[in-house]
Structure 1
Amino acid sequence: MTPTGLQTDVTTTEKRKILISGASIAGPALAYWLHRYGFAVTVVEKAGALRDGGYPIDVRGTATEVVRRMGILPRLRDAHIDSRRCTFLDADGSPLAAVHPRALGSVEGQDLEVRRGDLAAALYAIVRDDVEFLFGDSVDALDQSGRGVDVTLHSGRRRTFDLVVGADGMHSGTRTSLFGPEEQFHRYLGYCFAIFTMPNTLGLSHELVLWNSPGRAAALYAVGGDDELHAFLNFHRPEVPLDALRNPGAQRDLVATVFADAGWKVPAMVDAMREADDLFFDTAGQIRMPHWSRGRVALVGDAAYAPSFLTGQGSSLALVGAYMLADALARHQDHTAAFAAYERGIREFVAMNQALVDKGAARLFPTTVRALEQRNTMLRELVTMPAPAARPAHSALALPELPDRARPGVRGLSVDPGERPGR
């Protein structure tokens, strides 16, 4: 898949002003590329500061080429978690199988696994001096006209921009204001999950331990040899628990009820969840939309096409989407043509990666006794299986080449030694 139809000279974009809502992954990545193309960029983020820490995420396939062109690949390699073992347990906590992560789909030497905060920090570091960041604020209203978008921020500030991009996550306020309620576009995948941190009392290091019973999973993830573990409680639910989504107390009660009779270390995990100050609860779902823009406002990353954690491709799609949107805006002075080119260029790639959930991406979380037995049989066989080849969906998109004026050395741009963006 190679995007076509991007012809307009990038020199026409020098003075256009763009507001990006959201400073997680897609937002700073888009800000970086837009700045390199000569746009004036402002990023607004409702959090008071950059969020650090976070659960491990993957950078794979085409996204690896994006971070290479950005010059942050060496930094991310240094932050690579390098998990050495995944241990699977049955319902009573007995070991079933211990496998290397590459047996589960990781391509050795190519995929990167880093803390979400490490990726966010790397992106922020290369753009913070060139882009305006407004932390502790958010978009309250968008009023589009022929000349631009009048934006009212929660702080009361009012600004006018040529374009606005929503990079504000799966529960995007930008998307809601532009297209309507999330329910129209949300595809629920049948799981709820809770993520939090807890003390590493088991002495785990660079490894994942996963406990299962039908419809339930509990995981402890040690990203290093430190005193903290990432805890994960996942369970099958036929319908979305709407009441719990709106009530943190109800979330904790629901998780505790679901895992009330669980074995292994799950009772201690539930206790830790009760006390955690960083609990994140949500449903596994995707955002599927027929269009990602309306007028002068567009969406990128999870706001437009969240694939769910079951695919492991959320951050990768955010990085690739940011690159493709910036490229389209740089090559088309007319925003309508640019947004159309952006969708043409990446929609098939998005569809392929979202479809991973229909091709066994949830196989680690079986919902029936039989499915769990089948998965366990597969795990025992994986111990002796060779490492897999690269997955087509992750690398299906060929990135367009960088225009000459976006290559290193132009306008004072610097690149990490050994990296050659735009090759």
Structure 2
Amino acid sequence: MSKHIKILVIGAGIAGPATCYWLKRFGFSPVLIEKSASIRKGGQALDIRGIATNIAKEMGIYDQICDKRTQINIGRCVDIAGNILHEEQGEKFGFRQDDEVEILRGNLIDILMNKISDIPCYFNQHIIGVQQNDNHVTVHFNNGSVENYDIVIAADGIHSETRSLIFDKNEYQLVNLGFYISTFTIENYLDLNHMELECEANHRLVSINSDNNPKIANIGIMFRSQHILADIRDEHEQKQFLCDTFRDFGWETQNILNRVP
């Protein structure tokens, strides 16, 4: 394959920058676009383990990941009355061993974006149309420009808008597994110090921890529900659904929900 082909990568999350790194490493010249005005750093903590650990080392970012790793020294499972049911040391609490490491999604994206700082990346930009031709792909952008590329790579997530432009609805299907995860940050009102607390009951789980920034607590909420949001991008609907689902959960949940940003 010619190294002079034009490649467009859509989405500056984790997959997009990682793809750009490897394309550049093998001699290609990709372009990265992101529809947001800046890097979106929200999201949950991620485990770098198995083959991902080897890839991070090969990319030369493993040590940086370790420097930014989460640092939970103690993990506790509690009941809705706050009684301690189980306690483990941090890495064992997260089922990590050897060279496995946990890092916040936003910190990992920062590391990846710094690794590809020499690759063009355009924010506030997304595609609104795409046509496959015999020798190239014609891409229409939201700013009115039109460009031809040899390859277009959609790395814009599970709810990819690019996917709906490229494939007919009968060519792909999103299956609702009835499982939700909500992550956000609040003030560290419990004064947790490198500690994580988890409370689980009736297929619902609430966790709160604080590690490297003593002023901030990271919240993770997981639950099962067959309810489907009318608009998956409506933050008000998301928050209302979350509050309705956990209104009667107990423990610290109401204090946490009262602090939802």
Instruction: Normalising by structure 1, report the TM-score.
Output: 0.58
1:174 equivalent among 162, 184, 191: 162
Question: 1:98 maps to what in 2?
Answer: 87
Q: Distance in 2 between matches of 1:146 and 1:50?
A: 34
Q: Distance in 2 between matches of 1:75 and 1:81?
A: 12
Runs of at least 5 residues in structure 2 that lack an aligned partner in the other structure: none
Contact 1:244 1:254 in 2 (8 A): no
Contact 2:7 2:150 in 1 (8 A): yes
Q: Percent identity?
A: 28
Higher fraction of helix: 1
1:36 Cα deviation after fit: 1.4
Q: Distance in 1 between matches of 2:124 and 2:224?
A: 35
Q: Distance in 2 between matches of 1:183 and 1:99?
A: 46
Question: 1:341 maps to what in 2?
Answer: none
Over aligned residue pairs, what C-alpha RMSD do you find? 2.0
1:212 is the counterpart of 2:200? yes
Q: Distance in 1 between matches of 2:197 and 2:50?
A: 26
Higher relative contact order (CA 8 A, sep 6+): 1
The 1:59/1:183 distance shift into structure 2, 3 A limit, reads farther
Cα deviation 1:285-319 (Å, max 9, x = unaligned)? xxxxxxxxxxxxxxxxxxxxxxxxxxxxxxxxxxx
2:236 equivalent among 249, 264, 270: 249
1:230 Cα deviation after fit: 1.2
Higher fraction of strand: 2
Contact 2:78 2:85 in 1 (8 A): yes
Q: Distance in 1 between matches of 2:110 and 2:170?
A: 29
Instruction: Normalising by structure 2, report the TM-score.
Output: 0.92
Question: 2:149 maps to what in 1?
Answer: 161
Q: Distance in 1 between matches of 2:50 and 2:6?
A: 31
1:47 Cα deviation after fit: 1.1
Question: 1:298 maps to what in 2?
Answer: none
Contact 1:93 1:263 in 2 (8 A): no
- Equivalences, count: 261
Cα deviation 1:253-304 (Å, max 9, x = unaligned)? 222122122222111111112xx1xxxxxxxxxxxxxxxxxxxxxxxxxxxx
The 1:268/1:244 distance shift into structure 2, 3 A limit, reads farther
The 1:182/1:193 distance shift into structure 2, 3 A limit, reads farther
Q: Distance in 2 between matches of 1:105 and 1:270?
A: 24
1:52 Cα deviation after fit: 3.2
Q: Distance in 1 between matches of 2:29 and 2:106?
A: 25
1:121 Cα deviation after fit: 1.1
1:50 equivalent among 13, 31, 39: 39
SS in 1 for 2:258: helix
Letter in 1 for 2:121: F
Question: 1:224 maps to what in 2?
Answer: 212
1:133 is the counterpart of 2:124? no
Letter in 1 for 2:185: T
Question: 1:200 maps to what in 2?
Answer: 188
Displacement over 4 Å in runs of 4+: 181-184
2:258 equivalent among 252, 259, 271: 271
Letter in 2 for 1:64: T
1:156 Cα deviation after fit: 1.1
Contact 1:206 1:225 in 2 (8 A): no
1:246 Cα deviation after fit: 5.2
1:184 Cα deviation after fit: 4.5
Contact 1:13 1:37 in 2 (8 A): no
SS in 1 for 2:177: strand
1:53 Cα deviation after fit: 5.3
The 1:45/1:247 distance shift into structure 2, 3 A limit, reads closer
1:80 is the counterpart of 2:75? no
